[in-house]
Amino acid sequence: MCMNTPRVMFCHVEMGVGRGVYPSFHLSLLTLLLFIYFSFLQDNIESNRPDPNVRQEDENTERGNWSSKREYMLSMIGYAVGLGNVWRFPYLAYKHGGGAFLIPYTIMLAVAGLPLFFMESSFGQFCSQGPINVWKAVPILQGVGITMMLVSIFVAIYYNVIIAYSIYYLFASFQYPLPWSVKDCSSTAYNITTASLNVTSENQTCQNEFSAGQSPSEKYWDSMNETGPVVWHLALCLLLAWILVGGALFKGIKSSGKVVYFTATFPYIVLFILLVRGATLEGAKDGIEFYIGSKSNLTKLADAEVWKDAATQIFFSLSVAWGGLMALSSYNKFYNNCYQDSIIVCVTNCGTSVFAGFAIFSILGHMAHVYQRPVSEVADAGFALAFIAYPDALSKLPISPLWSILFFLMLITLGLDSQFAGIEVIATCLQDAYPKVLKSKRGIVTTAVCIVLFLLGLPCVTGAGIYWVNLIDTFCAGWILLVAGLLEVLGLSILYGGNRFIKDIEMMIGTKSALFWLWWRACWFFITPVVLSIILVWSLYTFTSPTYGSVAYPDWGISLGWCISAFCLIWIPIVFDSDRLAFVIQRIKAACSPTEDWGPYLECHRGERYGTSGATDANIFVISNKFTTSL
């Protein structure tokens, strides 16, 4: 089945990884597995070998701790503050009434975002385990941890592709004029861009006038996603992205904790520079007015869609239910004040979203002024904002390559911080599952994970790779997280016991008054589960098949998306049923075995075979060895 549109041809051949990719993929994967096997064989599986990345001053000598509180806080802020803060929140605020949108946004932060963030970070810190092993607290829910890890794997695959796009645009920014600002096909910049994109006369006609309604930046973006096999210059950018991630995480938190000093702070420097520059441009005031100024529309608060989008944005912006919060906080010292940390990170995350909106819309306002169009016609979200609208706006500024370089460096650092935590989830889960084998091989584990995910990400840098990215994002980073988050809060508040969990937290941060816990009890026991349930039901009820632009996905593509979702979620009932089956088998086995007091009645006849050890009163009727009931 193929679909032909003016902008792209999309069919099952193009959506694949391209001719010749599958054999090389399998060969590379086999080579990787052999490398891992012989590495372990050479080390002779030295189970008692200490982790070289654990220092003597670490409180936890088995897993290690953060080198300093600053590194942990910067890592948490970098994880929570991601691309969505820049390319989604400003658009939602503009779309849903401007400043009025901050009202539902703040309320949802208080009733859903902050309670879950505090719960997850304290949960991981208390037991010093990753998102799977933390569920030793409620073993029947270990499938939730597996779901979190699988979601992190799928998201890591396409998230680094977005970083690869940003790296490609960064390299392309080192030329003047910027390639996406050029309309003249005879210009040097256009010829360089055409050559780098491997555009031939078969799919690209040199025109002095671009297609109607399509800006040069949009044309440039589309040219990167023509149909065909692997786009190797994007594959090289993807490889570079994985090298950056692997290098930063090679020694675990000991190395990534140093990198975040730059990656977590640099975006704020760039946002401030862009805001100052944007505020001096003509038309900036109009952009800010549309974003959050006097044109705020309080009547939008009556629209239920506004509240749903506010809750969804908070939930995904804080990165709850991904497992990253548990993984990062598991390396904290036991008596760290996780409550204070949660407040700081959540407030910083939301403040960054609002701050980024001013930087984005001030320059979009100038772009609208240049094009003599309303701001509403140039404002957009997601890929359209990051790789079309904003680069187009930057190309209108003096010294445009400088601003473009800064912007895409900011996107890269924003993405890397979040990617660090995603890979940390995977590595932590593996090391927690096999501590004796893997605790001293952190570098090998990280390298292996990065290589495998790079190979799995190659379909996302084919000619139709953007469709794979959009498909995984739709079916993996959506309502699955709502299910995981809902089961998490219900499991801890009801099955494990909310009051018991509060006592656990007080072991770390000290005893608090009943008034202090009043709000958290209300959220964990009632408000947060209700909010998440409403969002989940609404998301499923209003679900529509994904599209990219004007292109709809074929039926097999939609089916594949649902299969990905099912694969992530199926571990929850599997673990649940396996635990229940094990319980039933145990009861049957016990019921078919003699009771502990079985044997000769008189003690003198019991001998060594039927000794008195563990014998029960003969007047008590025992149903089984392990599960006794007195009558």
Per the annotation, binding residues for Na(+) are 78, 80-81, 85, 317, 349, 414, 417-418
Task: Quote the strand ranges of 37-129, DSSP E.
Answer: none
Q: Which amino acid is at 2?
A: C
Q: What angle do CA 284, 289, 291 make, to 5 degrees?
A: 95
Distance CA 539, CA 351 (A): 26
Burial class (CB in 10 A: 0-12, 13-18, 19+), 605: exposed
Dig out the tokens for 107 from the structure: 């309320």
C-beta separation of 260 from 472 below 8 A = no
Binding residue ranges: 78, 80-81, 85, 317, 349, 414, 417-418
Dig out the tokens for 489 from the structure: 């809060």
Q: Nearest CA to 416 among 179, 121, 597, 164?
A: 164
Distance CA 94, CA 379 (A): 9
Distance CA 324, CA 295 (A): 38
Q: Angle, nearest 10°, between helix axes 338-371 and 498-509?
A: 100
b/e sequence 424-463, b meaning 16+ C-beta within 10 Å: bbbbbbbbbeeeebbbbbbbbbbbbbbbbbbbbbbbbbbb
Cis? peptide before 177, omega within 30° of 0: yes
Q: Angle, nearest 10°, between helix axes 253-263 and 266-279?
A: 10
Q: Nearest CA to 151 among 476, 446, 611, 383?
A: 476
Under 8 Å CB-to-CB from 366, ≥6 apart: which residues? 278, 281, 282, 283, 284, 287, 393, 396, 397
The H-or-E segment that residue 4 falls in is strand 2-4
Give the count of alpha carbons within 13 A of 571, CB side only: 19
For 241-277, give the DSSP string: HHHHHHHHHTTTHHHHHHHHHHHTTHHHHHHHHHHHH
Q: Nearest CA to 252 among 79, 80, 70, 52?
A: 52
